[in-house]
Chains A and B, each alone.
Chain A
């Protein structure tokens, strides 16, 4: 039997089990469907084509919490593969049912529903807009305030996925007062929660100056700098991403971050980390130095240039070298003093070598040439 026939057979076996009298069988069938759908995109498509989703959504409103959890799991598993599948899930009317289950008491149900909404909203701006139109954002903000850490995590990641697409969506998220709650969770000991919180804050602040200012007004600095020493690598990376998104807008924001000692903390972070996670730190230094020559001098005074030189020599990846070259350009372009500081770090020979190297990419050469 071919793959497709096998799939159809499986769906036709599981569908009647969803309507079984015994609730445990229903729940287990839904769980099985969810696991199948999350494994493979074809299976997810088969779930959609087999008209199972309307049945699931209808019973999402009525059944007990274990069933709700399993049904939300199925929806999430289907929606995560591609925007088309997520659209199919939304077209069946899943959003209303998921938003209703966000108002439930049981934290597991809320977690599953929030996870499904997050996966739906992840793909593109239209889907995010539909999730927002269904009224999910205030409920997600309420979920963030719940005591269970897993629920907080998922709600934060869902808000991050919603806010990342466009400024209007980020504004909607901010209007429900999410920033204050996210800011409160910065010093939570759980590492995965911190990852999501910082990712959410950086997605919010990247769109416009007003949003970045609102994030900064939540008084996250200098507490955020303490999280730069977190043992978890991705927490540190998300913190530097947040700082990069804030500094790239205006000189005043960069000035504020420099005054709290953020530049020194980021430079130490660059020293401690290796690989791809250095990229947001390098870009943050470039953005800070680009605004004005005061800030560029501040970067130089904080001993940024030797650290960037080390990054340039250590990292094998092309795009990181390109970013480092760009950052050097931003630091050195203001006055001869700055250029002298860059030159005394013995960076120019290596930059020249990169420029001459025929293997290095176009992008790298353009960045070095500037």
Chain B
């Protein structure tokens, strides 16, 4: 009971406190609610976060392991590929070397000989030089020939001029045109005039008598033909044949120039007899076969000793040693053959 009375005393206080507390709680409800929510949310958040971080950690571990696995696989792949590439490069290198050698060998053997080409080029250079030299010589030679011909022609012309102007030669009394007394020496034309022979005077009327003797007008010794010095002989002038039964100039010349015909007595030489005897003698000497002269009544032939023939006197004869035998070698040829009867020659 005491507690009950105490409690009933307390009821007011308790009610008041209840109300106060409810009022306070009501007043703080919002705030406390929010605070509780905050705390709960924060706690939940912590939970979730820890859960998440746990998950993260685990996921990270899984991923880490997985990545490592794939990366290692990939790496293996890469290593294999790199190895393969290295091998291939090596093969390529080596095959390049082989191909180089082989190509060099092929080209050198079959298609392109470097040394032959070099030799060819050197030979070509030499040949070119030689051709150039030859052509130079040739053109030099031609040039000299041309100059020489030109000079000769000039000389000829000047000589012809000198011959025709021979009358301008200076005499003792009167100096010529080219030999003026005021000059230190005579002109070259003057010297040429002195050197050349003048043209002989031309005889213009040519009668028939001289025509007949005119068989070879081109001969230089013929006096009837006046020619310039150095000029070529002129062709024969085709003269009209004289009318009438005249013989040609060659025939007449032959007749007029008939040669000597001596008689037989004159023809024979003074030593004809001796010559004839000599001829006979030499003919006999040539043709005789017997060398010994015929000497009758002389005993010269008796004193001669006998000369052996060379054929029998020399020892160099074919010796049938080993080839010819006295007795038959092959016995079968002797089958049925009788022995020859030996002939006994009685001794005297």
Contacts and interface: CB of A to CB of B under 8 A. Distances in A.
Given A231-B142, A261-B130, A294-B117, A268 B124 contact: no
B72 interface: no
Contacts of B146: 231
Contacts of B128: 261, 263-264, 301-302
Contact of B142 (A229, A265, A294, A302): A229
B127 interface: yes
Given A298-B121, A301-B121, A302-B125, A261 B142 contact: no
Contacts of B135: 225-226, 228-229, 265, 268
B38 interface: no
A298 B129 CA distance: 13
A258 interface: yes
B139 A302 contact: no
A301 B125 contact: yes
Contacts of A222: 131
A229 B138 contact: yes
A297 interface: yes
B121 A261 contact: no
B132 interface: yes
Nearest to A269: B135
B132 A301 contact: no
Nearest to A222: B131
B127 A261 contact: yes
Contacts of A301: 121, 124-125, 128
Contacts of A225: 131, 135
Contacts of A294: 117, 120
Interface in B80-131: 117, 120-121, 124-125, 127-131
A261 B131 contact: yes
Interface string A259-286: 1110111001000000000000000000
A161 B132 CA distance: 33
A297 B117 CA distance: 10
**Interface residue tally of chain B, by bracket?**
10 to 19
Contacts of A226: 135, 138
B139 A229 contact: yes
Contacts of A261: 127-128, 130-132
Main secondary structure on A side of the interface with B: helix
Interface in B133-160: 135, 138-139, 142, 146
Given A264-B132, A268-B132, A294-B117, A302 B138 contact: no
A22 B54 CA distance: 147
Contacts of A258: 124
B112 to A, nearest CB: 10
A284 B117 CA distance: 22
Nearest to B122: A301
Contacts of B130: 261
Contacts of A268: 132, 135
A259 B131 CA distance: 11
Of A226, A261, A298, chain B has the most CB atoms within 10 Å of the CB of A261
A229 B121 CA distance: 25
Nearest to B125: A301
Contacts of A264: 127-129, 131-132
B109 to A, nearest CB: 18
Interface in A272-316: 294, 297-298, 301-302
A13 B345 CA distance: 139
Contacts of B139: 229
A258 B138 CA distance: 20
A260 B134 CA distance: 12
Contacts of B131: 222, 225, 260-261, 264-265
B145 to A, nearest CB: 10
Contacts of A265: 131-132, 135
A266 B38 CA distance: 113
Contacts of B125: 301-302
Contacts of A259: 124, 127
Nearest to B131: A261
A298 B124 contact: yes
B137 to A, nearest CB: 10
B97 to A, nearest CB: 24
Contacts of A302: 124-125, 128
Contacts of B127: 259, 261, 264
Of A258, A264, A298, A301, chain B has the most CB atoms within 10 Å of the CB of A264
Nearest to B112: A294
A263 B146 CA distance: 27
A150 to B, nearest CB: 21
A331 B135 CA distance: 26
Of B121, B124, B142, B146, chain A has the most CB atoms within 10 Å of the CB of B124
A297 B114 CA distance: 13
A268 B128 CA distance: 11
B131 to A, nearest CB: 3
A116 B345 CA distance: 118
Contacts of A297: 121
A229 B144 CA distance: 13
A214 to B, nearest CB: 24
A258 B124 CA distance: 8
Interface in A197-231: 222, 225-226, 228-229, 231
A226 B135 CA distance: 6
Interchain residue pairs A-B with the least CB separation, the first 10: A261-B131, A264-B128, A229-B139, A261-B127, A302-B128, A301-B121, A264-B131, A229-B135, A261-B128, A301-B125
Interface of B: 117, 120-121, 124-125, 127-132, 135, 138-139, 142, 146
Given A229-B135, A260-B131, A261-B127, 12 more contacts: A225-B135, A259-B124, A259-B127, A263-B128, A264-B127, A265-B132, A265-B135, A294-B117, A301-B124, A301-B125, A302-B124, A302-B128
10 contacts: A225-B131, A228-B135, A229-B135, A231-B146, A260-B131, A261-B130, A264-B132, A301-B125, A301-B128, A302-B125
